[in-house]
Amino acid sequence: MPNQNRLGQETSPYLLQHANNPVDWYPWGPEALQKAVDENKPILISIGYAACHWCHVMEHESFEDVQTALLMNKYFICIKVDREERPDLDHLFMDALIAISGHGGWPLNMFLTPDGRPFYGGTYYPPIQYQNRISWKDLLMQISNAFVTRRQEIEEQANNLFNHLNSANTFDFETRSIINDSSDNQFSKSDLERMFERIMGAADQVEGGFGNSPKFPQTFTISYLFRCYYFFGNETAFKQALLSLKKMMRGGIYDQVGGGFCRYSTDKEWLAPHFEKMTYDNALLTIVMAEAFQLTGDQDFKKVIYQTIDFIRREMMTDEAAFYSAIDADSEGVEGKFYTWTYEEFHAVLGDDASSIAKYFDIRKEGNWEGINIPRLVMDFEEWRLSFRLDEKEAADLIASSINKLLAIRSLRERPITDDKILLGWNALMNQALTKAAVTFSDPSLMELAKKNISFLINTFFDPVAKQWRHTYKHGHAKINAFLDDLALLCHALIDIYEPTGDLVYLEQALSLMNYIDENFSDDQGLHYYFTPKFQHDILVRKKDLYDGALPSGNAVMAGNLRRVGILTNDSDKIKRSETMIEFIREQSISHPLSNGVWSKLIIEQFHGTNEIVILGKSANSAGFQFLRKFLPNKVFMTSEMNNENYPLMRGKYPNESISYYLCKDYTCRKPFYDEDALFNAIK
């Protein structure tokens, strides 16, 4: 048996973790797929990711076991997939697993016919039978025997599953109410109220968030609640949104020592996270916390945003201003060991200050979680400082110095593994977060970082020879065709970064990218977008994802991009397509708003309309940078120090020495205002 299987030349840290397994793993590709056909063997595809705790457990228990590997190698063609490198495969086979079992998760282990059709699958399997869960080796033997003795049944199951996947991806246009000129197809306030009621039906009004455990941040829903408050004065929505963010910021899901958020909480109180840290979660939370600050001015949001960005820059950023994907949950084989403290460790680090700081971070002798401690905030700052008779500055300095000491000692521990691949879509999300923070806090240094990052993305992920965009980058090489999410999020980031800079290069790049997406991802009806490009041929079904998961739906992001760019360029086809996409998912969004948070935000904007704002004149760009610090969710925005007749919003407007603020609708503008307060009053 070889010392290293076929994964040794891969760049994914997750695949490289399996390169020395005795399992003869292949990466997904023509070699493995052809071998399955030639040898008439079923394919075993195992999908996971580097920060996945149970993926590591199954590897140690089964994939590192020689006897188990012998069975896998003898009866199957074994393929390992990093779900972050190939989200298209992950989406497809996860849909298959949910159809089979009613639930999903990782590791995702799926069995395929030699021609690549799934017929059975599951998630984690133990090495020996445990309770009602079959052992992995027993399952392997059962599948292998069935493939030989009941092949016809397996073929029928594969056909049925393939037909299900194919039909689930085909939308019935004839029965859908597609938008037209009839007022019956316009959204109403009652539609928005129904969405709000369903959200609040799932809201935890004590601990924040939605549902019980596990609890995910649900940033899209929180952002929608902010819009309910902004447009309708809905105080209940505002209270729930702020409660959710505050509880997360104070909980163990937030790294109180080093900054940054973990992926989700295993309990309803946000105490015990799954300790992996993902770039996209921190980007999405930064964006929604910036919205919270814009609406409240609460300095706690600013503090946590900057701590989160500091964490990203310290631990997740390259010298080129690109961002790694994730940090593992485990170190030294123990989940969360890097982040947790015993009572004795905590006191040894802080000495005389330990007792007071332990109260602040809920550090207990008996532990606050499984005998150890996850730092969290259980006392308000004011309550804590008064209980120890500290003045405000003294208390703040004590906390800051204590955190620095804890961070210094923690940095000496064995670190969890960093997944150092650089993904286009996740970087585009972080770019949006940096731009949002830059304008919210009028911080030019964050704006410069966003500009440096987006320059890296544009220059690195586009292959000028093939004239195609790529998905992942590592060691100087970008590979794998970009997916819809990558490009939709990059387009969003380009529009975002155009607004505060006024640099039309970014807008022109967004327009070029939209043309690429339209050409390579549009469906036959010219309405929705496939997840994979038309020139990619190694996947069974081209999916069209409409619903939000941990990441926003690429179709929802594109609907927003089409609206913004359509208004900026007076392209009625883009605007119409956006409106039709939004109308198409009307009933699903109203019935299931928690799964359609990005669509919900588009719906509420379409209901209220979009403000067209232009700032012209000397120093208009710096005035625009300041203007964007305020919460204004339904807008398109242009600034320029000179007239540009190529863009309809600027036509007929001529700058002078003073700055002019224009508020327009359907390209018809009011008389200019000469200070931003007058403009905001007009908007209100």
Mean pLDDT confidence for 307-328: 97
CA distance 25 to 107: 15
Of the candidate ranges 4-8, 108-112, 115-119, the one whose mean pLDDT is the lowest = 4-8
> The dihedral of CA 35, 39, 43, 48: what is its sign?
negative
Mean pLDDT of the chain: 94
Measured from the Cβ of residue 355, the count of other Cβ atoms closer than 10 Å reads: 12
pLDDT more than 90, % of the chain:
86
Do 224 and 327 belong to one domain? yes
Encode pLDDT of 477-517 as tens digits. Answer: 999 999 999 999 999 999 999 999 999 999 999 999 999 99
Do 401 and 495 belong to one domain? no
Is position 5 within any domain?
A: no
Per DSSP, the residues of 589-648 read HHH-GGG-HHHHHHHHHHHH--EEEEEESTTHHHHHHHHTTS---SEEEEEESS--TTSG
Is position 93 within any domain?
A: yes
CA-nearest of 46, 72, 42, 31 to 155 is: 42
Do 553 and 617 belong to one domain? no
Residue 173: predicted pLDDT: 44
Do 69 and 218 belong to one domain? no
CA distance 363 to 373: 6
Residue 130: predicted pLDDT: 84
CA distance 483 to 458: 15
Q: Are 241 and 597 in contact, with CB atoms under 8 Å apart?
A: no
Residue 187: predicted pLDDT: 82
CA distance 675 to 156: 70
CA distance 515 to 522: 10
Of the candidate ranges 49-53, 402-406, 634-638, the one whose mean pLDDT is the lowest = 49-53
CA distance 11 to 325: 13
Given a cut of 50, whether residue 344 has pLDDT beyond it is yes
Cα–Cα distances in Å, from 189 out to 228, 238, 323, 596, 607?
Answer: 11, 18, 41, 18, 8
Do 257 and 394 belong to one domain? no
Per DSSP, the residues of 483-536 read PHHHHHHHHHHHHHHHHHH--HHHHHHHHHHHHHHHHHHB-TTSSSB-SS-TT-
- Residue 238: partners with Cβ closer than 8 Å, 6 or more residues away: 225, 226, 228, 229, 295
Residue 513: predicted pLDDT: 98
Given a cut of 50, whether residue 659 has pLDDT beyond it is yes
pLDDT band at 103 (very low <50, low <70, confident <90, very high): confident
Do 435 and 583 belong to one domain? yes
Given a cut of 90, whether residue 172 has pLDDT beyond it is no
Residue 51: predicted pLDDT: 85
pLDDT band at 167 (very low <50, low <70, confident <90, very high): confident
Which residue in the block uniquely carries the two structure tokens 């076929």?
6
CA distance 104 to 577: 33
pLDDT band at 650 (very low <50, low <70, confident <90, very high): confident
- Residue 321: partners with Cβ closer than 8 Å, 6 or more residues away: 449, 452, 453, 456
Given a cut of 90, whether residue 132 has pLDDT beyond it is no
3-state percent breakdown (helix, strand, coil) of the chain, nearest 5: 50, 15, 35
Given a cut of 70, whether residue 21 has pLDDT beyond it is yes
Is position 447 within any domain?
A: yes
Given a cut of 80, whether residue 184 has pLDDT beyond it is no
| DSSP helix/strand/coil, 158 | helix
Given a cut of 90, whether residue 85 has pLDDT beyond it is yes
Given a cut of 90, whether residue 652 has pLDDT beyond it is no
Is position 272 within any domain?
A: yes
Mean pLDDT confidence for 440-463: 98
Is position 221 within any domain?
A: yes
Mean pLDDT confidence for 337-343: 97
Is position 178 within any domain?
A: no
Is position 181 within any domain?
A: no
Residue 185: predicted pLDDT: 52
Strand pairing class (462-463; 468-474): antiparallel
Do 392 and 327 belong to one domain? no
Given a cut of 50, whether residue 181 has pLDDT beyond it is no
Do 251 and 269 belong to one domain? yes
CATH number (domain holding residue 42) = 3.40.30.10
pLDDT more than 70, % of the chain:
97
Domains identified in the chain, total number = 4
Structure tokens at 478: 């970008």
Rg from Cα positions in the chain: 26
Residue 3: predicted pLDDT: 60
Encode pLDDT of 624-640 as tens digits. Answer: 999 999 999 999 999 98
CATH number (domain holding residue 447) = 1.50.10.10
- Last residue of a domain, which of 585, 608, 631? 608
Do 301 and 364 belong to one domain? no
Which tops the pLDDT comparison, 185 or 365?
365
Do 255 and 348 belong to one domain? no
Do 356 and 440 belong to one domain? no
617 dihedral zone (left: phi>0; alpha: psi -120 to 50; beta): left
Do 150 and 200 belong to one domain? no
pLDDT band at 289 (very low <50, low <70, confident <90, very high): very high
- Last residue of a domain, which of 577, 593, 608? 608
Is position 184 within any domain?
A: no
Mean pLDDT confidence for 291-302: 98
- Last residue of a domain, which of 593, 608, 623? 608
Mean pLDDT confidence for 534-554: 92
| Backbone phi, psi, residue 420, to 5° | -95, 15
| Residue 345 lies in domain | 339-412
Mean pLDDT confidence for 587-611: 94
Mean pLDDT confidence for 457-485: 97
